[in-house]
Amino acid sequence: MNIVLLIIEILLSYLTILLLYKKNKIEGLYLWILTFSLIIGILSQKSVEIFDLEINLGFVTNTMFFIVSNILVQKKGPEEVKKVLSIIIVSNVILFTMSITSILISNSNINLISNDAYNQIYNLNNRIYFASILSLIISLYLNSVMYHQIRQLKNKLWITNLLTNIIMQLIESTLFCIIAYAFKISFINLVELIVIRYIFKIIISIISILLIYRINKIGS
Amino acid sequence: MNIMLFILMIILAMFFVFISLSLFEKEGLKYVYIIYNIVSFITSFKILELASININASIITSSLFYLLTYIISIKSSEEEYKKIIKQTLCINIFLAISIFIASLYIGTVNGNSAINMKYLYLYNYKILISYPILTLVNQLAIFIIYNNIKEVTKSEIKNTSLSCLTTLMLDSILFNTFSYIFKLDFAEIIALILSNYLIKVLITLIYIFIAKLLLNNKKVKL
C-alpha cells in the first residue's frame, strides 16, 4: 500500500511542477514553492515504513525543492535562491503563528477528536516540524552555492544536478535527523535513519533529472 | 485570555500583509494572498470556542483572504483575475490531494502522527473536497457582486463593505454546510454559520481600512 502511495506521490509532484511551469513559467515554480513549503512540516511528522524501512514522510516534496531550486538557479542565477528562502521563511512564520495561536485558544466541544489531533500536529514542542524547515533552508542555500560553482566548472545539466544532489541530500538528511531525533533515539538508530532517508532521496533526485530536462525543453 | 489571543491573531495577520508587501515588493500582494489561502485551508480543520461561541480557526485568515480577493479583483484586469483564480484552484486541488495521500500512508506502530492525521484529514475529508470548490465559487462571486454594486454606488467604502459582506455570507453558509453535513446536528451547523458570519463581518470591518490603504497605494500592484 505504502509503495503504491509513494509512486502516486512522486508522479503527483512531477505533474504539479510540470503543470504549474507550463502554465505560469518561473512564476509557477514560485507558486509550487509557496504551496509546498507550507505543508512540508506537517508531512514530515508522519513516519511510515517503505520496504520495511522507517522514514519520515515529506521526503519526496523535500527532494523536489532541490530540483525546483536547481531549475531556478539554472534559469535565473544563484541570487534566486534568496527569494526562495524568503518565501519559505515568511510562509512558515505566518502558518506557525496562526496555528500556534489557534492551539492556545480553547477547543470547541464540536468535532473534539479532530480538534485534539490538530493541536498535536501543530504542537509547539514539535521538533520534527522545525527540523524539516531548518534543514531545508540550510541545505537549499548551500545547494545553490554549490550548483553555481559546479556549473561554472562543468556546464552539463545532468552532471551539475547529480553532483549537487549526491552531496546536498546527505547534508539535508543528516541535518534533519540530528535536529529531529538527536538525544531522543540511540546513535545507531540515528545513523540508520540518515542512511535510509539519504538512499530514498538520492533515488528520487536521480529520477527527477528527467523532469529538469523536460522543463528545459518547455523553455522559459 | 482567548479573546486576547484572538485579537493578537487579527493584528498579526494584518502585520504579515505589510511584511510580505515590503519584502517581495510587486509580488508581495500575490504571495500573501496565496499564503492566506493555504493557511485558511490548513486551519479550517479546527473549531475554536471563543466566549462560548463556536467558530472556525480559519476565520481570520479567510476574512483577510476574501478582502485580498476583493482588492486583487479591483487592481487586476479580467484576464489577470482569471489567471489568479485558476492558479488558486490548481494549488488547492494539489494541496488537497497531497494531504489526502499523506493521510492514507500506513504509519509506523510507535508513531501517533498517523492517527492524528487520520483524525484530522480523513475524518474531515469533506473539507478537503469542499474547500477548493468553495474558494473558486467565492472568488467568482466577489467579482460578479463587485461589478454589479459598482454600477449602483460609487462610494469605495460601501462597495468594499457590500461586496465582502455578501461573499462572507455565501462562504459561511456553503463552507459549514458542506463540511459538516451528516456529521454535526442541523442546529449546530446553523449556529456555526451564524457565529462564523458575525465574527467574519466584525473582522472584515476592522480590516477595511487596510483595503483602503492598499487600494490607494499605487505601488501595490500585481
Give ∠ CA A172-A178-A180 in degrees, rounded to 5: 95
What is the reported pLDDT for B1? 79
Contact B116 A47 (CB under 8 A): no
The C-alpha of A161 sits at a distance from chain B's nearest C-alpha, in angstroms, of: 25
**Where are the extended beta strands (E) located within A81-184?**
none
Q: Where does the pLDDT of residue B221 fall: very low under 50, low under 70, confident under 90, or very high at 90 and above?
A: low
Query: Is the Cβ of A155 closer than 8 Å to some Cβ of chain B?
Result: no
Burial of residue B20 (number of CB atoms within 10 Å: 0-12, 13-18, 19+): buried
Q: Which residues of A touch B188 (CB under 8 A)?
A: 110
DSSP letters for B100-151: HHHHHSPBPTT-SHHHHHIIIIITTHHHHHHHHHHHHHHHHHHHHHHHHHHH
In this complex, do B104 and A5 lie within 8 Å of one another by their Cβ atoms? yes
Q: Minimal Cα–Cα distance from B201 to chain A, Å?
A: 19
Residue B58 pLDDT greater than 60, yes or no: yes
Instruction: Work out the pLDDT band at A197, boundaries 50, 70, 90.
Output: very high
Tell the burial category of A104 from Cβ atoms under 10 Å away from its Cβ (0-12, 13-18, 19+).
middle
Which of B19, B48, B185, B192 to substitute to test the interface with A, most A CBs within 10 Å? Answer: B48
Give the pLDDT of residue A175: 94
Please report which confidence band the pLDDT of residue B222 belongs to, taking 50, 70 and 90 as the band edges: low
Which residues does chain B have within 8 Å of residue A43's beta carbon, measured at their own beta carbons? 98, 102
Chain A contact for B165 (CB, 8 A cutoff)? no
Query: Does A20 have pLDDT greater than 80?
Result: yes
B95 touches chain A (CB under 8 A): yes
* CA–CA gap between residue B193 and residue A88 (Å, rounded): 34
**Per the structure block, which three cell numbers stand in for B220?**
501595490
**Using CA atoms, how far apart are residues B205 and B63, in angstroms rounded to an integer?**
10
Among B45, B54, B118, beta carbon nearest to A108: B54
pLDDT tens digit sequence for B30-40? 999 999 999 99
pLDDT band at B89 (very low <50, low <70, confident <90, very high): very high
Q: What is the pLDDT of residue B220?
A: 61
- How do beta strands B47-50 and B53-56 pair? antiparallel
What pLDDT score was predicted for residue B219? 62
For residue range A98-130, list pLDDT tens digits in order. 888 888 888 888 888 888 888 888 875 678 888
pLDDT(B137) > 90: yes
C-alpha span between B97 and B110 (Å, rounded): 26
pLDDT exceeds cutoff 60 at B93? yes
CA dihedral sign of residues A60, A65, A70, A71: positive
